[in-house]
Structure 1
Amino acid sequence: MSLLAYPFHILSAIFRFIFQTLRIPIPNVPLSSLSFGGLFAALRAPPLEAHTEAERWVRALEEETGARSSSSETGISTGAGEAGPSSLRQRGTAHQPERVLPDFFIGAYEDALRIAQRELRIACIVLVSAEHDDDGPFKREVLSDPAFVGMLERENILVWGGDVRGREAWSAAQKLGATTYPFVAFAALQPPRGLNTSSTSPLMTVLSRHQGRASTTSALLRDHLTTSLLPRVNPFLARQRAQAAERELARRLRAEQDAAFEASAARDRQRAEEREMVEREKQRKEREEEERREQEEIAAAKADSAREAWRRDARAAFLPPTGGSPAPGSVRVGIRLPNGSRNTVALARDASVLSLFAAVDAALHPVDGTSSSSGTDAETPDALMHEHALGPDEWWGFKIFNSYPRRAVEYDSTRSVQDAGVEGSVSVELVSLERVGSARSATSGDGDEDGYDTEDE
């Protein structure tokens, strides 16, 4: 296999001699291997990423010049798409001052231009070729010159570099039209030029190219920056920065206004939702109250109907007898009604309290006609009161009091008037309750504001 590789060995040497003579860089393809396996492995080797390629070049530059990147001591870590120094440190002595390199951008060439365009900075592109005789002096006398590096830092110039043996630097050389090395170019945003240009937006423009050792000395580059490039470019970039600051301020103000408007709209929505919730709750309560009133009115109407039916059909069975002589041992009870009239009834001592209440009810609410029930099968109002959930005051609509001592006669159909302590005269007071029937309410129009009609003896 080594014999078969020998012709390629000769061709590689011939082409390398021709390209070196013409100072034309060639990709670094190791055709010097002694076997086809090594050749094919080199051809199949994947190219380095732009970040790795730039990082390795800066590391090699630091090793070769004995200098360090200008901000390496800050400890900034380098990453893809970020400007940053190498991680190597200067290995100088205490008697020899440390030499510095520009703070090279670690990343792709196009990324460096995009960052310079976005940050409105001047970009400095440095391309070298390790195969040129001027490569070493350029690196030691220009790239590590404190005056040149200091100017780049003061003017905040973004620096990107590489060796054209690498893919990324080779691509940059083709785009910039580099023919001789070392090569230094400056680029920045500039207004469009030319009659055929319709765009008014600034474009990234190559401002100057410097090729060969004679044109890339530190003094010439510094003089070019001081007298030509910076006076021409900085005013335009300053205007662009001012406009960018105005746009940023306007954007921030719009964002703050939008945020304030959104917060106000959110508060308005919250207040509207709260009002709607309160209104819905109010409507719900009103509906419930209306339904409750309707149910109470229906219940009151049913209770009134049942009360009137009991008065018409059963009340007479519980009334004490009228006319003729009272039975021996009976109690004569004088009843003073709210309208001032007086009635007298004779009640047997064992007569039910219901008879007294029925007599008062008959005096207040007389019914035309006769009762259809006899005394034996007449129904007391107790079951109706329980059915309609009415207390004695709500059913009868009045209270009965002994005149002296003044004491209320509680309704109990199972007690006798003697047990209830009824004797002499009693007074009647109407009770003003919502659930008392309409007929009873009509008779209480002369009552006091406390809901009772009271007439003293």
Structure 2
Amino acid sequence: MSAAELDLDQLSPSERTALDTYTSVTGQDLPEAIPLLRRSQWNVQIAIAKFFDGEGSDPVEEAREAMQSPPPRPARRTQNLMSDDFVAQLSPVARSADPAPRVDTQPEDQPVYRPPLILALLFTPFNLVYRLLCSSFRLFGTLFPFLPRLFNATANPALQGARRNTTGRRSLGPKDTAARFIREFEEEYGSPSVPFLENGYNMALEKAHRDLKFLLVVLISPEHDETSGWVQDTLLAPEVVEFINDPQNNLLVWGGNVRDSEAYQVANSLRCTKFPFVALTVHTPNVSSTAMSVVSRIAGTTAPSEFVNRLRTAISTNQEPLERIRATRAEQQASRSLREEQDSAYERSLAIDRERARQRREAEAARQREEQEAAERQAAEEKREHDIAQWKLWRAQSISAEPGTDVKDAVRVSVRLPSGERIMRRFAPEADIEEIYAVVECYEVLQDEARPTDVVEPENFKHTYGFSLVSPMPRTVYGVAEGGSIRDKIGRGGNLLVEPIEEDDEEVS
């Protein structure tokens, strides 16, 4: 399929909703789901039926044929409940193989036509007459049961299909119809202890097929006198309610009122002969991997014990294939869970390995960074020492010579080094105090008579003295940054001490 055909932007909102509903039920991929929905005129129920039952014939036409003409049965067997039950007793296997049909229902998003107010007012008298005639015919049908059968046998098929719209009930979607049935059931018989499904018949079939459960289809007709008594005495009997609600029986219950279109179609498809009517459907893997079959039919009034016994018999007969499928699914689920756990453990192990690799990379990067920083610090320290040595050589060249004895106002300074050695030197009175610092800093260089004399000052280097000259008594610090001549600072002579400047003192200063 081309990309243009899969462009979801070309679909209308209703088509997108139908596509989401269909894929959520079937799990089919979009390239196969969209053509199937198009062939089904975007009817979700028909598309689901085609997916599970195959695309032999059109379900729409089959549903219409089922409504228009009941399946042929010899000797008017549809009108004889005793004959129907007798055949069911003689050949239960053949009866249990009947497929559970799906019906063509109104889509959820189908708009309901509402005539304009003026037309509604104009046709109100005709509508009242029509409803009155329908009620009259319904009354005659109740008084004379053979009339509806005669009418169904002789009337035009189109009129038979139109019978569904003569009840005067508003046509709703499957889910809303189920909700209305439950609400009316509660109003008539109180809060139901039977858990009816609040969705359409087709969706109930899909749920029963997906969950491997039995689906109990309950069809009632309020027009029958036996309906109310059967509901109160049989369906709501304690033993029936207990049987239905027993989790071991795996029962789902769907109910419908034949006055509604969907329930009427279900009644025709299930070959309902008498109301109230109950059919038990279940997935039959021996027929097809997706088939749902009717395994029991209960028509008319029955005692609660007989009702429960017939359901229990049908369930026990068809329980073994479901147990095999459940076991297979459980095994598949266990295998799937094991694979997921293995994949999860592999992912966790892979994540741990990735984390360890990341930590190793970070540690290696940190080590390389530290080595690089140490190398840079060492190189900077070596350059600094080289620059200091070069500066000392350069500064020693510019230190003035010691004045002779003929200079009467020369300043005589005695400097004691941290090593205990003492420097005795005469300075010119106008010399700056920095001259004494330079002599102390370059003392070792000045002792070397073979030092070079053509050294230049190092580039991009600013020398800082790492000591201070201090007069002991009274204690006076002669800072190099303060400047001033030696005569003004010290006088005609003095004794000085060299005090190293610690790094902490430099940071504080």
- The TM-score bracket by the shorter chain reads 0.5 to 0.7
Q: How does 1:69-80 map to 2 (within 5 A)?
A: 69-70=192-193
Alpha carbons of structure 1 residues 145 and 411: separation in structure 2 relative to 1, 3 Å: closer
249-258 vs 153-162, which deviates more? 249-258
Larger Rg: 1
Partner of 1:105, secondary structure, is coil
- TM-score, scaled relative to structure 2: 0.51
The one of 10, 20, 32 equivalent to 2:148 is 20
Q: Tell me how far apart the structure 2 counterparts of residues 293 and 54 of structure 1 sit (CA, whole Å).
A: 87
Partner of 1:319, secondary structure, is coil
8 Å contact kept, 1:142–1:148: yes
8 Å contact kept, 2:413–2:494: yes
Counterpart code for 1:29: N
The one of 430, 453, 461 equivalent to 1:388 is 461
Q: How does 1:305-344 map to 2 (within 5 A)?
A: 305-312=390-397, 314-315=398-399, 318-321=400-403, 327=407
Alpha carbons of structure 1 residues 259 and 13: separation in structure 2 relative to 1, 3 Å: same
Is 1:119 aligned with 2:204? Answer: no
Alpha carbons of structure 1 residues 3 and 220: separation in structure 2 relative to 1, 3 Å: closer
Partner of 1:160, secondary structure, is strand
8 Å contact kept, 2:412–2:492: no
Partner of 1:152, secondary structure, is helix
Counterpart code for 2:309: D
Is 1:204 aligned with 2:274? Answer: no
Report the identity percentage. Answer: 29
**5+ long unaligned stretches in structure 1:** 32-41, 71-101, 373-380, 434-457
CA offset at residue 205 of structure 1? 2.8
8 Å contact kept, 1:409–1:420: no
Q: Tell me how far apart the structure 2 counterparts of residues 327 and 355 of structure 1 sit (CA, whole Å).
A: 18
Q: How does 1:127-146 map to 2 (within 5 A)?
A: 127-132=219-224, 134-146=226-238
Q: Tell me how far apart the structure 1 counterparts of residues 214 and 305 of structure 2 sit (CA, whole Å).
A: 19
Deviation readout 1:295-353 (Å, 9 max, x if unpaired) = 665566555545434444x33xx01157xx65557688899999999998665677666
Is 1:170 aligned with 2:256? Answer: no
Task: Give me the CA root mean square deviation.
Answer: 5.6
Is 1:225 aligned with 2:311? Answer: yes
Alpha carbons of structure 1 residues 363 and 143: separation in structure 2 relative to 1, 3 Å: closer
Alpha carbons of structure 1 residues 388 and 421: separation in structure 2 relative to 1, 3 Å: farther
Alpha carbons of structure 1 residues 427 and 29: separation in structure 2 relative to 1, 3 Å: closer
Alpha carbons of structure 1 residues 338 and 49: separation in structure 2 relative to 1, 3 Å: closer
More helix by share: 2
- TM-score, scaled relative to structure 1: 0.55
Q: How many residues are matched?
A: 356
Counterpart code for 2:258: V
Counterpart code for 1:69: P
Counterpart code for 1:168: E
Q: How does 1:56-455 map to 2 (within 5 A)?
A: 56-61=180-185, 66=189, 68-70=191-193, 102-132=194-224, 134-154=226-246, 155-193=249-287, 201=289, 203-212=291-300, 217-226=303-312, 228-245=313-330, 247-248=332-333, 301=386, 304-312=389-397, 314-315=398-399, 318-321=400-403, 327=407, 357-358=438-439, 360=443, 363-366=446-449, 388-393=461-466, 414-416=484-486, 420=490
CA offset at residue 231 of structure 1? 2.3
The one of 148, 165, 168 equivalent to 1:29 is 165
Partner of 2:165, secondary structure, is coil
8 Å contact kept, 1:23–1:132: no
Q: Tell me how far apart the structure 1 counterparts of residues 343 and 260 of structure 2 sit (CA, whole Å).
A: 49
Q: Tell me how far apart the structure 1 counterparts of residues 431 and 373 of structure 2 sit (CA, whole Å).
A: 46
Q: Tell me how far apart the structure 2 counterparts of residues 429 and 192 of structure 1 sit (CA, whole Å).
A: 107
8 Å contact kept, 1:178–1:211: yes
Deviation readout 1:22-74 (Å, 9 max, x if unpaired) = 5968734349xxxxxxxxxx6xx86123233234334444555x46511xxxx
Q: Which has the higher contact order (CA 8 A, sep 6+)?
A: 2
Deviation readout 1:131-154 (Å, 9 max, x if unpaired) = 556545544443233333332233
**5+ long unaligned stretches in structure 2:** 1-122, 153-159, 504-509
Q: Tell me how far apart the structure 2 counterparts of residues 173 and 271 of structure 1 sit (CA, whole Å).
A: 68
Q: Tell me how far apart the structure 1 counterparts of residues 228 and 477 of structure 2 sit (CA, whole Å).
A: 129
Partner of 1:99: none
Q: Tell me how far apart the structure 1 counterparts of residues 233 and 434 of structure 2 sit (CA, whole Å).
A: 130
